[in-house]
Amino acid sequence: MASSIRVRATSNGDITEVQALIQHPMDTGLVKDPKGELIPAHYIQQLKFEWNGKDVFVADWGTAVSKDPYVKFSFKGAKKGDELKISWTDNKGGSDTTTAKIA
C-alpha cells in the first residue's frame, strides 16, 4: 500500500525545509453522516520528524486540524542525502511511518 505520508525535504545551505502532506480523514466526532449518525472521531494525535536519532519536530494535533493535514517547518544541521524519519499515530491506534531523503 502506498504510504499515507508525502514529504518533501529540501536542503538550502544549513537549513532544511520540510513539507509534509498526510492522507487522513481527521474526523472530529461532531459531524453526522447523511443518515444522521455521528461519524466517530478519527484523527492523528502525534506526528514526529526524526533526524539523526533526534526528534526535530513533534506535532500534537486535535480534531481542528484539517482533513489530509499539511505542515511546513525548517530545521538546521542536516545535509543533503540525510534521512528524515516521519511517523504518525492516531486516536484509534493507527499509525504510519516513512523515511525521506533530504534533497
List residues binding another protein (CB under 8 A).
Answer: 15, 26, 28, 30-34, 39, 45-46, 54-67, 69-77
CB closer to another protein, 3 vs 21: 21
Rg (CA), the chain: 15
Phi first, then psi: give them for residue 30, nearest 5 degrees. Answer: -115, -5
Cα separation of 24 and 35, whole Å?
A: 22
89 or 98: whose CB is closer to another protein?
Answer: 89
Our CB check for another protein shows the closer of 1 and 32 to be 32
